[in-house]
Amino acid sequence: MSTLNETHDATLKSWVESANAEGSDFPIQNLPFGVFRRKGSHEAFRGGVAIGAEILDLGAAHRAGLFSGEAAAAAANCSGAALNTFMAMGPSAWAALRLALSRALRAGATHTDKLRGCLVPQAQAEHAVPAEIGDYTDFFASIHHATNVGKLFRPDSPLLPNYKWVPIGYHGRGSSIGVSGQSFPRPRGQKMPPGASEPVFGPSKRLDYELEIGIYIGVGNALGHPIPIAEAERHVFGLGLLNDWSARDIQAWEYQPLGPFLAKSFATTLSPWIVTLEALAPYRVAWTRPAGDPQPLPYLDSPETRARGALDVQLETWLETAQMRASGALPARLSHSSMKHAYWTIGQMVAHHTVNGCNLQPGDLFGSGTLSGPTAGEEGSLLELSVGGKQPVALGNGETRAFLEDGDCVILRAWCERGGCARIGFGDCRGTVGPPAS
């Protein structure tokens, strides 16, 4: 797991003044990676780093000769339309480039005139998915989400017997993953109405979001060679926000016996920036398992996991309806939770995914599963907030929602902060529901 170093110094300031603004998601202590181009242009997408309200074009900075050694090689691999080659280089290269960027962007750094020419305002940029995603696995890491949903269908036994023993996941669809700003038509499929004897076909009426963290694999592993939990996080490049949209009525009819299919394959939305695990090092907390619960099997346990395997990433969901946009009203906050409540850690997900010999590849994506917390107001989906649609959520402007309506925009946000450390954020993850395709 990443340790603290000079890049985490909370007193550091940048010569990019917007990075020093209170509440900025992108101070110099963050430096997340993404892929961008100027909005509305025909430029090639290329790698960049967010700093305040700007993006540093990594390819341009490399061509200007602003990096050397391992950092230069790493920056060269950020010039393309996806970050996979850079991600495959491993922790040493990731850390070398992060350190070089930190030093180059600090107040008082040399070559600032050259670097200014490599900046593009974020307001003038558009983004692509930051990695070419070969495979996407969605986990079920929040026991609070699993329990809340289980109670709706199995009140007397909400958790299935395997939940506390195994990090459960399913193979998702990579082709429909999009970046923040994604719009998609309301999905259609088969549904079984209550009391009906046969299914009907049509648009989903119980469309939902899921508040998740996306986990990007950096270095892969060879087929047949499991990743031990002690080495698992060396294979993880970083994290982003992920909205795993879900058609609950389609899902209820199709998910047995093989799990989710059309209910989730129509769209998944990612935030544009990947916050590295190194940047998140100050926000690690102990991972615990209740004494009365089964303790993890040995391949899923380690002293380091217990000591600081969890991450205190604050998570929020906001909803902007079409009526709010038309009236100029602000979005309504639906929930606030933390990733620290997850029942399974990132390292445990990696170790379990590969324990059978499965090979991961650079750019593979994990979803954490919906990250709900233990108390009211921490639910990560409308299914939970509305208690299966029975108690619609009041939005504060006279509107209510049991499930999403056409025109609704869901906004996910995340950040980390603690005493003595700089606040760092993930940027928004926005997605909008459109009407069904004709």
Same domain, 333 and 217: yes
The pLDDT averaged over each successive group of 10 residues in the chain (438 residues) is 91 98 97 97 97 98 96 96 98 98 96 94 98 97 96 91 96 97 98 96 98 98 98 98 98 93 97 98 96 96 97 98 97 98 98 98 98 97 98 97 98 97 98 95
Domain match, 53 and 152 both: no
Residues 227, 113 share a domain: no
- CATH code assigned at 169: 3.90.850.10
Mark whether 359 and 223 lie in a shared domain: yes
Q: What single-letter DSSP state applies at residue 282?
A: G
pLDDT of amino acid 438: 81
Q: Are residues 175 and 61 in the same domain?
A: no
Residue 219 tokens, joined: 């270095």
Task: Out of 111, 128, 145, pick the residue that ends a domain.
Answer: 128
Please indicate, yes or no, whether residues 245 and 146 belong to a single structural domain of this protein: yes
Alpha carbons 208 and 203: distance in angstroms, whole number = 13
For residue 1, the model assigns a pLDDT of: 74
Q: Is residue 1 part of a domain?
A: no
Amino acid (1-letter code) at residue 62: H
Give the model confidence (pLDDT) of 169-207 as tens digits: 999 999 999 999 999 999 999 999 999 999 999 999 999
Q: Looking at 128, 150, 173, which one is the last position of a domain?
A: 128
For residue 363, what are the domain limits?
A: 136-434
Choosing from 128, 162, 192, the residue where a domain stops is 128
Distance CA 136, CA 79 (A): 24
Token digits of residue 154: 């199995």
pLDDT of residue 2: 78
**pLDDT at position 111, please?**
87
On whether both 53 and 202 belong to a single domain, the answer is no
First to last CA, the chain: 49
Catalytically active residues, by annotation: 145
Backbone angles phi, psi at 75, to 5 degrees: -60, -35
CATH number of the CATH domain containing 118: 2.30.30.230
State the Cα–Cα distance between residues 263 and 209, nearest whole angstrom: 11
What are the C-alpha distances in Å from 410 to residues 333, 334, 376? 10, 10, 20
Q: Residues 377-409: pLDDT tens digits? A: 999 999 999 999 999 999 999 999 999 999 999
Judged by phi (left if over 0) then psi (alpha if -120 to 50, else beta), residue 380 lies in alpha
User: How many domains is the chain partitioned into structurally?
Assistant: 2
Distance from C-alpha of 407 to C-alpha of 404, rounded to nearest angstrom: 9
Burial state string for 344-381 with b = 16 or more CB within 10 A and e = fewer than 16: bbbbbbbbbbbeeebbbbbbbbbbbbbbbbeeeebbbb
Regarding whether 246 and 190 lie in a shared domain, the answer is yes
pTM of the predicted protein model: 0.97
